[in-house]
Structure 1
Amino acid sequence: MISTTPGQASRRRKGPLGWLMAHQGVFFFPILLLEGLSLHASGVRRVLSREPLRRRPIEITFLAVRTIGYLLLVFLVLSPGIAFAFLGVQLGLFGVYMGMVFAPNHKGMPLVPRETKGDFLRRQVLMSRNIRGGRLLDTVMGGLNYQIEHHLFPSMPRPHLRAASGMISAYCREKGVTYTQTGLWESYGIVVRYINRVGLGERDPFECPLLQQRQSV
């Protein structure tokens, strides 16, 4: 229901869905209530798909134990009506929380055409956004507020991302690579404005610095 690229928006421009996409900035956060259900469904589709997956039987076993065990526990402890209400509230809040953590990191950042080639540093830094904040924000966002560092060093333990950010931002300044940081609420404003622009049909919502660099050479 949400288009995050002009290509997605151009394929869905008719009828009620087209109207929703033209106003998707208004509906973005309410739609996150469904994100928790979507994430669970994606997990099930992934383990049951024909795509290569390491340790598929183990993944299916743990996913089944978690899902079935959780549902059994809820319905054993609560009456059916309250259990359904609890699951609805839990999935809704889970979706909003995860969406509000994920959304600020990339939405509204430059889009890289498939054919554009660039070095690893620029691809990871120019396409990601960090969220400024203190230790509390680090905990609430699980370290994903250091999205640039997370992309450059995906195996780095999250408690070390904060320390690494200072060194990486200094290195980026030295190399002339834009290192983007913003506040949390400011980032949500950027996200809403961006998806509104995409929904309204602007074909090129953000200039791609990699493409500009290539064309200027």
Structure 2
Amino acid sequence: MTAPDDQTLTQTGLPPTGQGRVLLIACGALAREILALRDLNGWDHLDLHCLPAILHNRPEQITDAVVQAVEKRRHAYDDVFVVYADCGTGGQLQTACDRLGVRMIAGPHCYSFYEGTDTFAARDEVTAFYLTDFLVRQFDAFVWKPLGLDHHPELRQMYFGNYEKLVYQAQTDDPALTEKARTCADRLGLAFERRFTGYGDLATALASLPRPASSL
């Protein structure tokens, strides 16, 4: 259950019509999790528009992409919520959201809000490299190949020599994903740790969004 990048998804497949609907502008890396939470909780008032997940590797482009998406689509909705944390924008995304009058999820990045921002900050793990369910599935496309390790594996020490462990923050209890994450750790030469986080603060943030009076 995934969402194509740059596409608005609705429960009915029809164009959004307002009436209490909320548009989620989200990173494509969160699509599966957002749709799972929406379906599990019956949040039929939420529509999802995903920006390309590869912006994960180009954080300087995130703010402009979010602003364009909000300005293009907000007229059809009663509310807009940006499902990005700061994600390497250096506060620029929060500033833009404040200017647009829309809210966004709190925290520095998805690793933080999956684990719980306060819990993550208290750990202060500067030598840990994190993967989520999405990044385990897309490890080659988002980590291995962008760093050139597919052609130059000798660069691994330069990139990861200061890390001690790979922490897999599991959103789902999937043994196959756990084994794949363990393989990722082996490929990077890191110790392996799995933490089942579930959806963390993502679930809390989506649950806090207003619902149409007719659905309460």
TM-score range, shorter chain: under 0.3
TM-score scaled by length of structure 2: 0.25
Structure with the largest fraction of helix: 1
TM-score scaled by length of structure 1: 0.25
